[in-house]
Amino acid sequence: MKKHNFSAGPAILPADVFSQAAEAVQDLNGIGLSVLEISHRSPEFVAVLEEAVALPKELLQIPDTHEVLYLTGGASSQFFMTAMNLLPHHGKAAYLDTGSWSTKAIKEAKLFGAVEVLASSKDKNYAYIPKDYTVPLDATYLHYTSNNTIFGTQYQQLPAADIPLVCDMSSDIFSRPIDVSRFAVIYAGAQKNLGPAGTTLVIVNKDLLGKVEREIPTMLDYRTHIKKNSSFNTPPVFPIYVSMLTLRWIKEQGGLAEMAQNNEAKAKLVYDAIDRNPLFQGTAAREDRSRMNATFVANDPEVETAFLQACQEANIAGIKGHRSIGGFRASIYNAMPTESIEVLVELMDHFAQKHG
Amino acid sequence: MKKHNFSAGPAILPADVFSQAAEAVQDLNGIGLSVLEISHRSPEFVAVLEEAVALPKELLQIPDTHEVLYLTGGASSQFFMTAMNLLPHHGKAAYLDTGSWSTKAIKEAKLFGAVEVLASSKDKNYAYIPKDYTVPLDATYLHYTSNNTIFGTQYQQLPAADIPLVCDMSSDIFSRPIDVSRFAVIYAGAQKNLGPAGTTLVIVNKDLLGKVEREIPTMLDYRTHIKKNSSFNTPPVFPIYVSMLTLRWIKEQGGLAEMAQNNEAKAKLVYDAIDRNPLFQGTAAREDRSRMNATFVANDPEVETAFLQACQEANIAGIKGHRSIGGFRASIYNAMPTESIEVLVELMDHFAQKHG
């Protein structure tokens, strides 16, 4: 019996992607070899990688100034790699602090130059997106986290700024269209909207590279991976393969406008259930609510325990909230079917009636 | 029809591992979730990771001074991470140069301190393992590459040295027992003897860490990953899962002494075929021949083309030699069945009779 998987990441992928991936682990496209045992220089994998690069270009309408890379090390490695590659030693970078991941990005950037934190929502346990700040024009870039997986907030628009943006989009990339031309770097750990854990998508404006003087180890220099099409060394073949399958699925569904519309509709189902049942309370400011991670609490700890138990009985997995906020978190990425959300919402209504 | 896969890496894994991995992509242990969609904090994955750490400890009899980590970035990232974590700014490290990978490791280490290359076999296109050198006692460590995938050479013993060793064992880890206590760091990209591409095994002596003064980004500091059991950030779940399955298989086969014996016997089959057929010539010095990658050339280019063609017809894949040496390379890692080697050897004999 397949579970309804509301996990924040690694997270649900389309059912077809699981089937295709399982088949390829036995035999890739009938070539008599598993996708796990083919050379990364083989024509079969080169074709996979080319498609995995072409699809983001098409879906996000990425301009020619930008390259699409598949790296490893997670968004956590991009926290320092962005600064290492972009921030001159005597330069300054601007950061917006909207939660744990922003905080970590800020910490790592400080190793490479001056960091100015323009605004933070830490005062309210990151329950909102700060909107009142001035972006210094002498900063090299403005870094932000587009969706805050833990705190359930999300930027509804790109921050207003006259300098290039750098963004951790780990948990909402490919969930809606974005204007890539505004970004120096977009990075995203695959394991939410893109694929399994083990690869990190990086979209980088190559015109902004090569402007720092520090010596960068070969593997940490974006230019290495641009020059070698993400195959300077052996790339994570299977995570890239599965990401490619997911991107194909997104395209088949109609692309990012369609994704955004579905995500809007799916999020509305969850937030409406939160708002109509006084037993539950949303934790994020309404105007900043994430379409990817709906966070909510119950009005007492016993109810929380009982609801978690009820979820388990209803085959709902991964709904427990992060320890820094408690309660519940329904992660409803692209691949989450409306049917699973309906199961959750019905349970919430039913539970609220019974315990309300 | 399953191919005989002689690819140098990513490489063949045991057939049972492919089946189990494919099943887990659909449903891990019957829990109703794919291994690709479970949280890295879930009890299911925590158990996988614990086993993936316990098995190397058991198989390699790793002393308590050493920790087992699963990182990303490949051996190529360890080229600089070893020096970054171990080599003091005014310190010195000693290196042995036995091929492309050693050369790259040397290049990256130079960013962090003085590097003394004690010996190199570059004079003969890396066809042998240099044995005549003195290890300086004031060097922090001696770095070497235990098996040279491209050039088909392998250290048959650990280098004699009174300082800690650092070794790139990407292509022969778990192929034979080793004395881990002699090493500061052992690292290995998974994609030869351990698992699919996407994770890097690092075995590190924790007593030797924390002795450099430079500021290290959090993700590049071994201590981060030791403290957080390789889960500081989301680890590459699936590559680790498959590595764990392969380690289980190695244990079931009887462990590393058994692996070494089988590898010896399998390599003998290939080298005997090379040596008895004047059509073919081994490229590596006999005493340094690799048990993992047997490199050989044919006595003229037309024969090479014809033999490659014959291999293809016999369902033999991945046998073409690396461009820096030409000819053929039979990669015969742990998982390579004797039956596949017999197919190759018979073809070699048959071909030599016909074209000799």
Q: How confident is the model at residue A356 (pLDDT cuts 50, 70, 90)?
A: confident
Percent residues over pLDDT 90 in chain A? 98
DSSP lists the bridge partners of residue A94 as A116, A142
Residue that terminates a domain, selected from B253, B285, B300: B253
pLDDT at B168 over 90: yes
Q: How far is CA B117 from CA A176, B98, B109, B122, B186, in A?
A: 52, 11, 11, 12, 19
- Domain check: are A214 and A278 in the same one? no
Q: Which residues contact B352 (CB under 8 A, 6 or more apart)?
A: B277, B278, B279, B280
Q: Is residue A81 one of the residues assigned to a domain?
A: yes
Are both A162 and A191 inside the same structural domain? yes
**Which whole number is the average pLDDT over A11-29?**
98
Active site residue B101: yes
For the stretch B226-256, pLDDT in tens is 999 999 999 999 999 999 999 999 999 999 9
pLDDT in tens, A67-112: 999 999 999 999 999 999 999 999 999 999 999 999 999 999 999 9
Which H or E run contains A48?
Answer: helix A43-59
The CATH number assigned to the domain holding B326 equals: 3.90.1150.10
- Residue A62's pLDDT band (boundaries 50, 70, 90)? very high
* pLDDT at A183 (0 to 100): 98
Contact with chain A for residue B113, Cβ under 8 A: no
Which residues from chain B sit within 8 angstroms of residue A1, using beta carbons?
A: 32
- pLDDT class for B71, splitting at 50, 70, 90? very high
* CA-closest candidate to residue B354, choices B306, B316, B313: B306
Is there a cis peptide before residue A130, judged by omega within 30 degrees of 0? Answer: no
Mean pLDDT of chain A: 97
> Distance from first CA to last CA of chain B, Å, rounded?
30
Is B328 found in the same domain as B294?
Answer: yes
Q: Which of B21, B27, B37 sits opposite A13 (nearest CB)?
A: B37
A248 and A259, same domain (yes or no): no
Q: What is the DSSP string of B67-81?
A: EEEEESSHHHHHHHH
Is residue A77 domain-shared with residue A88, that is, in the same domain? yes
pLDDT tier at B356, thresholds 50, 70, 90: confident
Q: What pLDDT is recorded for position A299?
A: 86
Structural domain includes residue A7? no
Per-residue pLDDT at B316: 98
Q: Is the dihedral of CA A256, A262, A264, A267 positive or negative?
A: negative
Indicate whether B6 belongs to any domain: no
Confidence of residue B355 (pLDDT cuts 50, 70, 90): confident
Per-residue pLDDT reduced to its tens digit, A248-280: 999 999 999 999 999 999 999 999 999 999 999
Q: Which amino acid is at B84?
A: M
Distances from the Cα of B235 to the Cαs of A89, A200, B21, B130, B191, in angstroms?
A: 31, 12, 17, 37, 16
Give the confidence band of B349 by pLDDT, cuts at 50, 70, 90. Answer: very high
Q: Which of A199, A205, A253 is nearest to A230 (CA)?
A: A199
Determine, yes or no, domain membership for A9: no
Q: Nearest CA to B224 among B79, B113, B109, B67?
A: B67
**Are residues A247 and A308 part of one domain?**
no
In a domain, A10, yes or no: no
DSSP state of B180: G
Confidence tier at A167 by pLDDT (50, 70, 90)? very high
- Residue A296, strand partner residues: A282, A328
Does A316 lie in the same domain as A304? Answer: yes
Q: Judge whether residue A355 has pLDDT over 90.
A: no
Instruction: Indicate the SS3 state at residue A156.
Output: coil
Q: Which of B238, B253, B268 is the endpoint of a domain? A: B253
Asked if B326 has any chain A CB less than 8 Å from its own CB, the reply is no
A40: left (phi over 0), alpha (psi -120 to 50) or beta: alpha
pLDDT at position B30 is 96
Instruction: Give dist(CA A122, CA A120) in Å, integer.
Output: 5
Q: Could you tell me the residue range of the domain that residue B241 belongs to? A: 15-253
Residue B351, φ and ψ in degrees, nearest 5: -65, -40
Say if residue A259 is in the same domain as residue A169.
no
Write the CB contacts of B275 (distance below 8 Å, at least 6 apart in sequence).
B282
pLDDT (average), residues B146-166: 98
The pLDDT value given to residue B292: 98
Q: Is A124 a catalytic residue?
A: no
pLDDT at A171 over 90: yes
What's the pLDDT at B281? 96
In three-state secondary structure terms, A142 is: strand
B232 and B263, same domain (yes or no): no
Q: Which residue has the tokens 């090493």?
A: B183
Q: Is the pLDDT of residue A1 over 80?
A: no
Q: Chain A contact for B77, CB < 8 A?
A: yes
Mutate to test the interface with B, among A31, A87, A101, A233 (most CBs of B within 10 A): A233
What's the pLDDT at B110? 98
Q: What is the pLDDT of residue A228?
A: 98
**What is the total count of domains within chain A?**
2
Token pair recorded at residue B328? 């053929």
Give the residue from A194, A228, A253 where a domain finishes.
A253
Domain of A196, CATH number, reads 3.40.640.10
Residues A283 and A295 in one domain: yes
Are B239 and A238 inside 8 Å of each other by CB?
A: yes
- The chain A residue lying nearest B219, using CA atoms, is A77
Same domain (yes/no): A244, A321 = no
pLDDT tens by residue, A231-250: 999 999 999 999 999 999 99
Strand, coil or helix: B202? strand
- Asked, for residue B10, whether it belongs to a domain, the answer is no
Catalytic-residue membership of A192: yes
A1, A4, A5, A33, best to mutate vs chain B, most B CBs in 10 Å:
A33
pLDDT per residue as tens digits for the range B290-308: 999 999 999 888 999 999 9
CB-closest option in A189, A232, A234 to B191: A234
Q: Is the pLDDT of residue B129 over 90?
A: yes
Q: Are both A20 and A34 inside the same structural domain?
A: yes
pLDDT band at A331 (very low <50, low <70, confident <90, very high): very high
Task: Specify if B3 maps to a domain.
Answer: no
Predicted-complex ipTM score: 0.98
In a domain, B9, yes or no: no
B195: closest CA among A225, A247, A239? A239
Quickly state the pLDDT bin for A156 (edges 50, 70, 90): very high
Mean pLDDT (chain B) is 97
Q: Is the pTM of this model over 0.95?
A: yes
Interface of B with A in 190-249 (CB under 8 A): 191, 195-199, 215, 217-220, 232-239, 242
Q: For the residues of B2-17, what is the DSSP string, one character each?
A: --EE--SSS----HHH
Region B315-343: what's the mean pLDDT? 97
Mean of the pLDDT values across residues A144-168? 98
Q: What mean pLDDT comes out for the span A187-196?
A: 97
Percent of chain A with pLDDT over 70: 100
Which of A97, A172, A192, A266 does the annotation list as catalytic?
A: A192
Looking at the complex, does the CB of residue A91 fall below 8 Å from at least one CB of chain B? no
